[in-house]
Structures are given as C-alpha cells and as structure tokens.
Amino acid sequence: MFFKLIIRNAKRSLKENLIYFATLVVAVASFYIILSLEKQDVIIFLKEFESDAINKLLALMPIVYGFALFLLFFLILFANRYQLNRRSKEFGMYLLLGMRKERLILQLLAEGMFISIWALISGLFIGAFLAELISLTVAKLVGQGIISHQFSLSLTAIVFTVIGFLLIQFIALLILGGKLFYQEIYQLLNDQMDKKQEMGDVKGNIFHIFIGTVLLVIAYWLALFRFNEVEGFILFLALILGCIGTIFFIKGFGKLLGIMASRSEKKSTKGLRTFTFRQFQENVAHKYLSVSVTSILMTLSIILIADGASSILSLDKVYNRETSVYDFTVYGEKEKVEQLLNSEEMAPYVADLNLLEIGHMKRKGEDADGMSISMVDWSKLREELILALPRKERELFESGDIQGYTISPDNPDALNLLGILEIDATIPYLIPESSYNRLLEAVDEEPLNLQANEMVLYLNPDLLPMEQVDNIPVLEQIFKNAAQSKENLLTIDGTAFFLRPSVPMRGLVADRSIEIHSAFIVPDQVFEQLVNRETYETYWNFRIPKKLQDEQGLMMPMKEASEKLSAAGFGFESYLHNFGRQLFYVVAGSYTILYMGILFLIIACTVLALQFLTQMKQTKNRFLTLSMLGAKREQMKKSLRMQVLLTFLLPISLAVVSGAVGIWGLIKAVFIRIDNNPLLFPMSIFFACIVLGIFSIYGMAVSRTAEGEIDKLRWKTNVGE
C-alpha cells in the first residue's frame, strides 16, 4: 500500500510537473557531460600531442564538477521546494487524517528517490546523447578528418553522476523534509502568497533605482576603463558593485512599475492591464532577490558564452596555414637524416625537401667589459625607425629615458621593430639565401636572387604581433626612401648592405624548433664567411606530397610518416604538434567556459520559471474571481503570457546591458580578440540564437503550463458536467 502510494504520487508528479522533472534531468545531463569530457574525441586526440596540458585540464574537471554540483544543488533545492509547495495542501490533509509526520517525510524521501531514478535514467540517456553529439560535432568541425569519432560511454562519469545527483537530491529533500516537520498543519492547508501588500512610496523606489543605476554605472566604468589596473581587484570590485547595483535596480524597478501602472488612469481599464502589471510587480518586487540573482547569472552567462565563442573564433588561426609551410622538421646529423628521407620507405611522404642552415653571426671581438662587439652597424636604420615613432615615444627615445623593450600588439610597429633589432641585431641569426629560396619555391614564390651586397631582414610571422610581417608600412617606407636616396641603412663589418623590401615571410620550420624573432638572410658566400661555426645548425624540412594529400588528406599520411620517423629514432616535429597545441588552447578555452555559461543560463531560466509557476499556483483564486467577473479564458491567457514575458524580460534586459559592457571590457582588455574574423558574425548570431532559444523554450514551457492551469480552472467552475 505504502509502496503503491509512492509510485502513484511519483507518477503524478512526473505528469503534472514537467518543469520539475526537466530540471532534475538537466542536472543529471550536465553532470554527465562535464564528467565524460575525457572521452571526447578531441580530448583523446589531443592527449597524443599535448598530454601534459590535457592532463592539467582534466585535473581541473573535479573542480568544475564540484562547482556544478554546488550550483545545481541550489537548483534542485529550489525545484523540490516548488514541488512540495504545490502539494502542501495534500500533505496537510494527510496529517489532518492522522498520518504521522515521520511517515510523511519518509514517504516524501521515497517518492523523491523514485523520481530521481527516473530522472537519472532519462538524464544519463540525454547526457550521453548530447556528449556524443558534441563529441561528433567537435571532431567533425575541428578535426578536419583526422579526429576519428568513436562511440563512448564513460563508466566513471556515470558512476559519479549517479553519486553526485543522488547526494544533492537527498540533501535537498532532507532539508525540505526537516522544514516540513516543523510546519503546522494550518500553514500547510493555507498555502497562500504573503499577504503583505504595500504601495511603497515613489521617492523610496526612485532612490533605489538611483542607487542601483549609480552602482551599475560605476561597475561599468571600472570594467571598461580601469580594467587593467590592479587587475584582479578591480574585476572583483566591478563584479560586487554590479551585483549590488542589480539588486537595488530591480528592487526599485519592480515596485515603481506597479506604481506607474496604478497611476495612469486613462489606460487603467484597458483589459487586464492593471492586473497584469500588479502580478508582475508582485513577482518582481517581492522576490527581487531571486530575480536579481537570475539577472546576475544571465549576465555571467552572456559574458562566459561570448568568451567561449571567441575562443572558437581563433580556430580560424589554427587552420590558417598562411605562414606555415612545412609539415615536418627533422633534426639530427645532416647526412643520416638526408639518407633516411631519401630512403625507399620515406620517399613517398617527402616533397619539397629543404635543408635549412642557420647560425649566429661571428663577433668582432669583446670590449673591456666582456660585451660582444657587433659586426653590424644599423644606426641609420635605427634613426629612421625612431623618426617614424609617434611623438610621445619619440621624445622618450630622444631623451634617452627608454629603459627596455616590450613587444606587444599595443605598440606602434616601429617601436616593436626597434625592440626586436635592439635585442637581435648585435649578433643576428644568419640564414643562407639558398635555404630560403627553396622555401619560397615550395610555396610558388619568386626566389630572391640577392646581389652580393644585398640582404633580407627576416621577421618571424609566428612570433611577431604585426598583422602582416612581409608588408610593414613603416619599414617599407624606410626601405623605399633609402633605395631612392642610395643611402645605407645598415653595414656589416663596414660593408654596406641594401635591404630588400617586400619579401614574403614564412615559418622556417614545421612548428617551434626555431624560435627566433628575426634573422638576416644573406647570399650564400656571405653566410659561409660570417657564420659562427660553433652555432651552426641544420634542419631538414619537408612537406607531404600534394598528390598524397589529395588522395588521403593531410592527416593520415602525416600520422604514418610520424610513426616511421619515430621508428627510425630521429627527433622531429610536425605540423600536427602545431595544430594540436593551438587546438588545445581553443578547446580548453571554450569547452568549460561555454559549459558554465550555458549552465548558468539554464539555472537562471529554471529559477524564473519555477518562481512564476509558484506564484501562479498560490494566486489561483484570483483567476477564479476574474472569470466570475466575466474575464474570458483568452483574456486571462493573454495576461499570463504578458506576465511571463515581462518576468523573463526584466532580468534579461539588464543582463544584456551588463553583459554587453562586460564583453566590451574584455575586448578592451584583450581577453577576447575579435579582429576582423569572418566567422565573427555567424558565430555571434549562432550563440545569440542559443541563448534566445533556451530562453524561449523556458518562456514557452512556463506559458503553456500556466495556460493549462487556466484551462483546469474553467473546468472546476463548471463542476459536475
């Protein structure tokens, strides 16, 4: 009997309260998704190249899980409270009929656990499906065919999901059961909205709005203009001020709205307008704290989603091989490597084989302090660069106050160039013309054909912050002027060298084995003459043949070639490393952040939805009265839809403003980089749609549920027929 009642009640809860059940399912699914990250195709793939970083990321997951557990606990608590409130009358009746409280609570726990099992089954199913979908989409989207998809079900994820979910569900029910234990039957039977109604004075509310606005504006200002100062602290301060401001603003706004509604006499009898506003006011003004919290959650959610999405934007760079030429770079003894690469086994994988020679320039000697004396004199170039600086920096230079150099995208180009040359030009790297010519040939560019007294200033496109390293306007201008006036910008060991403008700059190796900012590309005999033999190194670069790529894609042959090189025992690096590392940043930067963002949004929406339905349930009688006064069903539904819209719109409107400011602040602080990415627009639209979609689904669900209540209402008044 007892068991039957539990099952029947649980079934009824399921049927009557889809939102409650959906909340539980969402909680379960979110746990599973974060816990099964390890089994995502992309993560499995990246583990091969970036295992350290991936392990660090995975080690972070328990924290994310704990945080999600913490957040969802409150959601579950809220959902259960709503569910119990809905049935408080029923409980009152049980008690009135002599059921013992202990038994009632036991029954509640049993019912809760029964529903939890259903929620777990559905949630795990949905979670596994979503995780699979995400895994597949990401693999397809970022994998470019290398990341193979495999169906996976993470057992540990399931176990921890079950444990975590049951734990929070149990604690929540226990807390609520305990509360129920101390409630009097009278309270249960008369579950009504707080009868506290007050007009509130206009001045007080305007004051609240004023305080709220001021605090928000300060927070916005901090976020926009003071972000980089004492970073962490300012961010924290802006956050706190923003939260408090939001609370004040919403508190004042909710009440003021009601007052405004009652003030405009002319419109006061336009349909259920006054009623609608009063309901809205009650929902907002009396629950301003939770409405504010949802608004804050939505703000965070918008910022997080924008941040996560911007990481995805940088995917573009991952694929962009504009500057990267070689698929492989092999180190080791020059002849042995050459032999291997020309062997029958390796040859099919090798095209555009290029020996890159590199070494430091010899020194002229040492001065008294043991400092190197350079062969290079670039004082003329330096002068020109200083002249090209904006006034502020130029004055700094001319007064000799400049202390050190930073190379950053915020600097003017000329300053960055000065920095690089000051550091590099004393003992510059040298690269023979022939090495670079072969590279240019591989990408169908003209060879250099340098004159004996001509050189190229090589600038590494991967490390320099400039947009286009082969065409820096300041430098081009200086080179051009010099060519016209036949002036020497630079001499090496007393010999004047002309600097060749507009040479395409490409990556020298497959990934990062050579991390240099700049080098001098010189004619081969000059190289032989000037290079310091002690620093001389060689690298063998090659590409996967075009034909093989067309047949099998880039990644398969690369994998095979990697295996062969490893087997031969040579050190090497490949474009896969480059790709993997960049992909890792994108995945790590976007996955957890988007997850959190969406979680926040769902929590905010659920809280709003449950709160609205609670109010609706507690004030059901009002709708009865309305219908007795002649209100049509459609009229009441229209009012309800309006109420739902307003209830959702208020927190999100504020959140959109705060969120926009937040994003703007992050862009200014260069946390988020948007540049002129062609994906920017579609990506923003896509995520805006996701946010709006989640929002509308909840709004619609609430509307439907509430309208259903209205339908039931009519049925009750016509009892018997």
Partner 1 sequence: MIGQGKLLEIQDLRKNYGNKGHVTRALNGVSFDVLKGEFLGIMGPSGSGKTTLLNCIATIMKPTSGRVLLKGDNISSFDSKRLAEYRGSRIGYLFQDFELLDNLTGKENILLPLSIHGVDFAKAREKLHELATFLEITDVLNKFPSQMSGGQKQRVAVARSLISEPDIVLADEPTGALDTRSARNLMNKLTEINRKNERTILMVTHDANAASFCSRILFIQDGVIFHELRRQQSESREEFYERILQLLAQLGGGSANVL
Toward partner 1, which CB reaches closer, 59 or 628? Answer: 628
Min dist CB 166 to partner 1, Å, is 40
- Whether 82 contacts 613, CB under 8 Å: yes
Min dist CB 620 to partner 1, Å, is 12
Tokens in use for 51?
A: 């295992």
Query: Does position 631 bind partner 1 by CB under 8 A?
Result: yes
Tokens in use for 546?
A: 């075009």
Toward partner 1, which CB reaches closer, 200 or 557? Answer: 200
Query: Does position 278 bind partner 1 by CB under 8 A?
Result: yes
Toward partner 1, which CB reaches closer, 444 or 721? Answer: 721
Min dist CB 204 to partner 1, Å, is 16
Which residues share a beta bridge with 357?
538
Min dist CB 718 to partner 1, Å, is 6
CA 538 to mean position of chain CA atoms: 40
Binding residue (CB under 8 A) for partner 1 from 370, 550, 629, 681: 629
d(CA 658, CA 661): 5
Toward partner 1, which CB reaches closer, 281 or 606? Answer: 281
Question: How many residues lie near partner 1 (CB under 8 A)?
Answer: 42
d(CA 7, CA 717): 30
Toward partner 1, which CB reaches closer, 75 or 626? Answer: 626
Q: Is the dihedral of CA 38, 42, 48, 54 positive or negative?
A: negative
Query: Does position 266 bind partner 1 by CB under 8 A?
Result: yes
d(CA 72, CA 213): 30
- Whether 455 contacts 521, CB under 8 Å: yes
Q: Is the dihedral of CA 623, 626, 630, 636 positive or negative?
A: negative
d(CA 4, CA 105): 16
Binding residue (CB under 8 A) for partner 1 from 406, 484, 485, 625: 625
Residue 256, helix vs strand vs coil? helix
Query: Does position 203 bind partner 1 by CB under 8 A?
Result: no
d(CA 413, CA 154): 50
Binding residue (CB under 8 A) for partner 1 from 44, 193, 239, 407: 193
Query: Does position 392 bind partner 1 by CB under 8 A?
Result: no
Amino acid (one-letter) located at 316: D
- Whether 132 contacts 27, CB under 8 Å: no
Query: Does position 622 bind partner 1 by CB under 8 A?
Result: yes
Q: Are strands 454-459 and 495-499 parallel, antiparallel or unpaired?
A: parallel
Toward partner 1, which CB reaches closer, 491 or 627? Answer: 627
Query: Does position 715 bind partner 1 by CB under 8 A?
Result: no
Toward partner 1, which CB reaches closer, 94 or 612? Answer: 612
Window of 36-44, 66-74, 266-274, 644-652 that interacts with partner 1 by CB under 8 A:
266-274
The secondary element (H helix, E strand) that includes residue 119 is helix 101-143
Toward partner 1, which CB reaches closer, 529 or 621? Answer: 621
Residue of 654, 703, 693, 696 whose CA lies nearest to 242? 654
Binding residue (CB under 8 A) for partner 1 from 19, 142, 173, 272: 272
Min dist CB 627 to partner 1, Å, is 8
Min dist CB 89 to partner 1, Å, is 17
Binding residue (CB under 8 A) for partner 1 from 213, 619, 684, 696: 619
Residue of 536, 557, 566, 574 whose CA lies nearest to 334? 536
Q: Is the dihedral of CA 590, 591, 592, 597 positive or negative?
A: positive
Binding mask 675-714 for partner 1 (x = CB under 8 A): ---------------------------------------x
Beta strands (DSSP E) in 415-522 are: 429-432, 454-459, 490-492, 495-499, 518-522
Tokens in use for 179?
A: 């509360």
Query: Does position 195 bind partner 1 by CB under 8 A?
Result: yes
- Residue 381: phi and psi, rounded to 5, are -60, -40
Binding residue (CB under 8 A) for partner 1 from 183, 274, 453, 677: 274
Window of 278-286, 335-343, 392-400, 649-657 that interacts with partner 1 by CB under 8 A:
278-286
Min dist CB 717 to partner 1, Å, is 5
Min dist CB 693 to partner 1, Å, is 32
Toward partner 1, which CB reaches closer, 272 or 472? Answer: 272
Query: Does position 611 bind partner 1 by CB under 8 A?
Result: no
Query: Does position 618 bind partner 1 by CB under 8 A?
Result: no
Query: Does position 562 bind partner 1 by CB under 8 A?
Result: no
Amino acid (one-letter) located at 126: I
Toward partner 1, which CB reaches closer, 196 or 392? Answer: 196
d(CA 129, CA 137): 12
Binding residue (CB under 8 A) for partner 1 from 41, 282, 357, 413: 282
Tokens in use for 672?
A: 């988020």
Tokens in use for 609?
A: 């939805």
Binding residue (CB under 8 A) for partner 1 from 262, 324, 434, 491: 262
Amino acid (one-letter) located at 272: L
Min dist CB 253 to partner 1, Å, is 17
Window of 223-231, 239-247, 369-377, 629-637 that interacts with partner 1 by CB under 8 A:
629-637
Min dist CB 614 to partner 1, Å, is 15
Residue with tokens 């003894």: 333
d(CA 713, CA 623): 8
Min dist CB 144 to partner 1, Å, is 59
Binding residue (CB under 8 A) for partner 1 from 47, 273, 394, 500: 273
Toward partner 1, which CB reaches closer, 329 or 643? Answer: 643
Query: Does position 718 bind partner 1 by CB under 8 A?
Result: yes
Tokens in use for 637?
A: 């539904």
Toward partner 1, which CB reaches closer, 408 or 621? Answer: 621
DSSP-assigned letters across all residues of 660-693:
HHHHHHHHHTTSS--TT-TTHHHHHHHHHHHHHH
Degrees, nearest 5: CA angle 386-389-395: 75
Binding residue (CB under 8 A) for partner 1 from 52, 229, 265, 369: 265
36 contacts: CB under 8 Å, gap ≥ 6? 127, 128, 131, 152, 153, 154, 157
d(CA 219, CA 207): 18
Which residues share a beta bridge with 165?
none
Min dist CB 267 to partner 1, Å, is 8
Q: Which residues bind partner 1 (CB under 8 A)?
A: 193, 195-199, 262, 265-275, 278-279, 281-282, 619, 621-622, 624-633, 635, 714, 717-721
